[in-house]
Chain A
């Protein structure tokens, strides 16, 4: 019944990150089928090279790989070549870096896609409809307190993501 441990982890990572990564790619390539193809192909490559087992920060690494994959797609005259995984740093020794303007939208969609369902629902309502907490509470038939909690959870998750991507340094500037 049991699979080899790394296979189990790979499958887990796949389910956890597939949709968020596709959302990231979608914002870069604008075509959902293409976004899926690129992410799918990236996972095949990662699987064969067992690249995920060698990095310290899989999420950061996956996001960078997807970004490279999308950029590479345009650079190599829209062909689906393999990218050189070993050239992508996993960020072990990274200093805190700044977020590039063009990264914001893909990252934001990645973030929203990764939110737990209830939190996502509240976040998207607030974001896209401009409703107040009171209006959201009425629409979803929940308490204002719950809206507050869910929005807080979303924001906290956003901060965790920024920190994990090294956009927030742990040591404050002096």
Chain B
């Protein structure tokens, strides 16, 4: 019995063929209780769904929370720090800890990338996640009907195709649903940016009021109150992972921000200064030293070496 439910749905609505009815009869005989219950719910009156805004509610929740003046002791604070410290010592690159029987699912895995480089993580369904520095994901150890992932920060996903089990990523400002594809999600305090490399991706605002479908080389930006789409992607949206950069007339401050995603925050701007130049250049996984030389030559700035791998721009 592969997937009975599309057929059963048709049966309930008198849309099934006579061949399909035979399959249903067999199913009905072996699952009488399930059949009766589903039928009772499937045919029960009108359904009017209200969209309650959880984002607005969360803000209200937070202000009420502080109103109550309750001191809440973080439950996992000490355990987490210990686990992180131990894992850090053992593995060096990243910390994993299991939160058994906590909120969410019986067993939830949390992976945090505490290292400066991107971290590759393979999930139980075969999908692969590359996490940017400082980002974290969490997911149930065993996936249920949907493959649910929670993301903080930035990650690139290569999702194994499985049309029966949607792959759902919840980020700060949106929910992204796919069946099998590859895409990048970047979240900061302003919003969540989704860039699609291959396949088809459905993006919903957090309140689920709006949804858009993105195809390859399209992108969307979800913020607190809006969801906008673009017919192209930032040429550097994957640079944090690949180390390949392409700038064309890009404002200097933006160049530095983007380079820092790959070169581990090695470049520091002088906040007092106004950098009014733009850069047009292509870097392919170049050593930082070389990148710095090119920038110095083309932008007329000087870079002071702070230590082995960091520069202050003057």
Contacts and interface: CB of A to CB of B under 8 A. Distances in A.
A104 B44 contact: yes
Contact of A7 (B9, B74, B153): B74
A6 B75 contact: yes
Interface stretch (B105-113, B235-243, B245-253): B105-113
Given A2-B112, A4-B77, A128 B46 contact: yes
A26 B50 contact: yes
B70 A48 contact: yes
B33 A168 contact: yes
Of the four ranges (under 10, 10 to 19, 20 to 34, 35 or more), the interface on chain A belongs to 35 or more
B91 interface: no
Contact of A5 (B40, B80, B145): B80
Nearest to A144: B15
B102 A14 contact: no
Given A4-B76, A6-B74, A116-B177, A18 B65 contact: no
A36 B52 CA distance: 8
Interface in A122-160: 123-124, 126-128, 132-133, 148-149, 151-160
B9 A152 contact: yes
Given A36-B57, A40-B57, A117-B208, A112 B49 contact: yes
B47 A159 contact: no
Contacts of B117: none
B262 to A, nearest CB: 18
Nearest to A107: B41
A22 interface: yes
B25 interface: no
Interface in B43-84: 44-55, 57-58, 60-61, 64-65, 68, 70, 72, 74-77, 80
Do most interface residues of chain B lie in helix, strand or loop, or is the interface mixed?
mixed
A133 B6 CA distance: 12
Given A19-B51, A44-B65, A47-B72, A127 B6 contact: no
Contacts of B65: 44, 47
Contacts of A153: 5-6
Q: Which 3 A-B pairs have the closest CB atoms?
A: A152-B6, A18-B54, A151-B9
Interface of B: 3, 5-10, 12-13, 15, 30-31, 33-34, 37-38, 40-42, 44-55, 57-58, 60-61, 64-65, 68, 70, 72, 74-77, 80, 97, 99, 101-104, 106, 108, 110, 112, 134, 136, 138, 144-145, 150, 152-153, 163, 166, 168, 170, 177, 202, 204, 206-208, 211
17 contacts: A4-B76, A5-B102, A9-B108, A9-B150, A18-B57, A36-B52, A44-B65, A48-B68, A48-B70, A53-B75, A116-B166, A117-B204, A117-B208, A132-B13, A152-B5, A159-B34, A172-B30
Given A9-B104, A22-B52, A108-B41, 8 more contacts: A14-B54, A16-B170, A43-B61, A56-B106, A104-B40, A116-B177, A118-B211, A152-B8
